[in-house]
Amino acid sequence: MASVDSTDLIVSGRLRSGDLLHAGLAIALLLGVWSVGGLEVSTGKVSSIEAMNGSTVLLPCTFASCVGIKNLYFDWHYKRNGTMIKLCEGKIPDDIKEPSCKVHHERVQFVGSSKKKNISILLWNITFEDEGEYRCFARNPKEKDRNHSATLTLTVVDHMRVVDNTLTVIIVSVLGGVIGLVIIVMVIKALVVHTVSTFLKMVINGKECLVSSSGNDNTENGLSGAKADNKGTPKEDTNCTLKVQLRPR
């Protein structure tokens, strides 16, 4: 009986471990699907922007959700000396209706659109005090209030820096020279091959003409010689025959 009980315990333990494994896989799969289709916010390929003092700068931000949105909440914050200052906030009812936005800064303008999934803002007449970190935040109630944020850094300068493109120009020039050299070599090679093939054809045709002409001459000479030999031989035989017949008489 003790052995049976231990066997049952082992079997039940294996079943429980298998159930736990299946449950873990199911949870991981659900989390994977959730993360793939979840809300994402992005400020583009760059994480910093450099703008000149007194100019207007666009702070880009877009959102994406595979399951769609409903009453999406978004806002912009500016971090100054460790303190987050709200610049604007709004709500997007769905993918068709345009967002309603409330601006909390006099030099901020909302330029987003729900159709383009855009919640970007413009910052007018920037100053050196506007330097810092800007955060774009969004929350989607349709995904059980899933939220996501993205940040970018704004740097204000007196004048725009001149980018040194010397290295780029050198690289492009070298590549262009190499490509041009390769093209020239290919053209020269094609011309040489064509010239050589033409010359070989001319030589082969010339040899064929010489062989055919010499063959014709030999044939003509042989035929004439044969005719002469054939003509001379009967004459000699005839004369000999006549002499033999006349001697006895």
Query: Are 60 and 43 in contact, with CB atoms under 8 Å apart?
Result: yes
- Sheet of strand 48-52, all strands in order from the earlier edge strand to the far edge: 48-52, 146-157, 132-140, 72-80, 83-92, 100-103
Give pLDDT, residue 131.
94
Residue 35 tokens, joined = 């993360």
Give pLDDT, residue 211.
62
- 115 Cβ contact list (under 8 Å, min separation 6): 95, 96, 98
Residue 206 tokens, joined = 């010339």
Query: Are 48 and 152 in contact, with CB atoms under 8 Å apart?
Result: yes
Residue 75, beta-bridge partner list: 89, 137
Give pLDDT, residue 174.
86
Tens of pLDDT along 56-81?
Answer: 999 999 999 988 899 999 999 999 88
Tens of pLDDT along 197-238?
Answer: 888 888 887 766 666 666 555 555 554 444 444 444 454 444
Residue 140, beta-bridge partner list: 146
- Relative to beta strand 108-110, strand 121-123 is antiparallel
Residue 48, beta-bridge partner list: 153
Q: Which homologous superfamily is 40-157 in? A: Immunoglobulins (2.60.40.10)
Give pLDDT, residue 164.
60
Give pLDDT, residue 246.
46
* Segment-wise mean pLDDT, segments of 10 residues, the chain, 249 residues: 49 53 53 61 92 95 92 94 92 91 95 92 95 96 94 90 71 86 90 87 74 59 48 47 46
Give pLDDT, residue 13.
53
d(CA 72, CA 207): 90
Residue 149: Cβ within 10 Å count: 15
Query: Taking CA 197 as the corner, what is the angle to CA 196 and CA 201, rounded to the nearest 5 degrees?
Result: 115
Could you tell me the pTM of the whole model? 0.53
The domain ranges of the chain are: 40-157, 166-223
Residue 57 tokens, joined = 């700068």
DSSP classification of residue 113: B
Give pLDDT, residue 220.
55
